[in-house]
Amino acid sequence: MAIELQQSRLAFSIVSSAARVRVCAPLGKCAGLGNLSRRNFSQAAEALEINEVEARPEVQVKDDKIISPRKFLLGKSEKELQDLCEEMGEKRFRGKQMYLLLYKVRKAEIQEFTNLSKGFREKLISEGWEVGRSPIHHKVNSVDGTIKVLLKLKDSRLIETVGIPADEENNRLTVCVSSQVGCPLRCAFCATGKGGFTRSLKPHEIIEQVLVMEEIFKQRVSNVVFMGMGEPMLNMASVLAAHRCLNEDIGIGQRMITISTVGVPNSIRKLAAHKLQSTLAVSLHAPNQRLREQIVPSAKSYPLDALMEDCKEYFSITGRRVSFEYTLLAGVNDSKELAFELGELLHHWDMSHHVNLIPYNPVADSLFQRPWQKSVQTFVETLAKCRVNASVRQTRGLDANAACGQLRNQFQKTPLEDESLVKSV
């Protein structure tokens, strides 16, 4: 049995390595995806998402025996759960019961599904089914009420999620969710890229971030922003699946969900084709191509004009204004002249928009600095003169390492790629 188990594990390891090689190969020549041509960038991005689907399922080992691959209930619709019950020889109404236990009662383990028979619960477990919830590895509370959590996934990887409560009067709770373990794009000022990149998240790993914050705050989440670790457009299938569940099953309105991107060729148009009523937030950070390439390396593969054209197409198809995120870096992109240039850029493309100015959150070992308040105010006033609607994001959780990626980097860093696999290509 020990030999058979070892051989089985080896077989799974080979399959896993092959899948990872295909991801790593286009990344191996650069510190991320930033230096690829636009065509190669698109191909690498597509390979990254395809290989997440092709990669082997997680397996469970019990008493030196490999049992069924892990499968997760969280993220499935009511109909999918009913179909599952029928396939397993149960009545379809059991699927309705499972649906309520998952999304209304919020049970975290199948053994807690006491509405179901013990035999059915054991059958679900024996066939590899799990709810799909992860334990909290670490939690940090900020003095302003913001809470940052590290979740430990099944493969021991860590991801961040942040709960941001509004003031007591409006009772709003925003959750910032991650879409990947790390990020391959490595924007110059971002802590996430410094921690390396491992893989994209599965739908249930995104959804559970919202559920854990509801449990911590003991209130419903009103807003979800895909602005945590990772590039959502490099994991679009999982992001869209999680979006569907958050909207239809958990009850968060589409207009209360924001999907962000630094810009991946062709992805904004693909997202627009789904005609969601969610906000697109584009990490712009500079009003011209030359400066943007210095701040966002992947911009070399996605010219600013092409990005803006795709944003206008998103607005035309969905009718939703585009939010442009602009991180203010002292002495880099916070000058009055660049504010005027940003105003000219936005007026040229003539779409409904809003500019969200974000004073830089300090990151360890970074050369960038947070701008002076006077510089921020001048930038806002200059945009106002250009008739550009802009606001300054309130800094939250600064004492809790709330800059994306900072907390994870204290506990876990991973290389951008597995060097041994890259050398074998």
- CA–CA dist 425, 418 (Å, integer): 11
Quote the CA–CA distance of 21 and 234 in Å, as a whole number.
17
- As annotated, the active-site residues are 160, 404
Q: What residues are paired with 200 via a beta bridge?
A: 180
User: Rounded to whole angstroms, how far apart are CA atoms 420 and 24?
Assistant: 10
Report CA-CA distances (Å) from 168 to 171, 175, 253, 398: 5, 16, 21, 20
User: CA–CA separation, 286 vs 309, rounded Å?
Assistant: 16
CA distances from 21 to 26, 27, 136 (A): 9, 10, 31
C-alpha to C-alpha distances, 261 to 111, 179, 255, 271, 335, nearest whole angstrom: 39, 11, 17, 11, 24
**How many residues appear in the chain?**
425
Q: Report the C-alpha gap between 418 and 197 in whole angstroms.
A: 10
In angstroms, the CA 104 to CA 228 distance is 25
Burial class (CB in 10 A: 0-12, 13-18, 19+), 202: buried
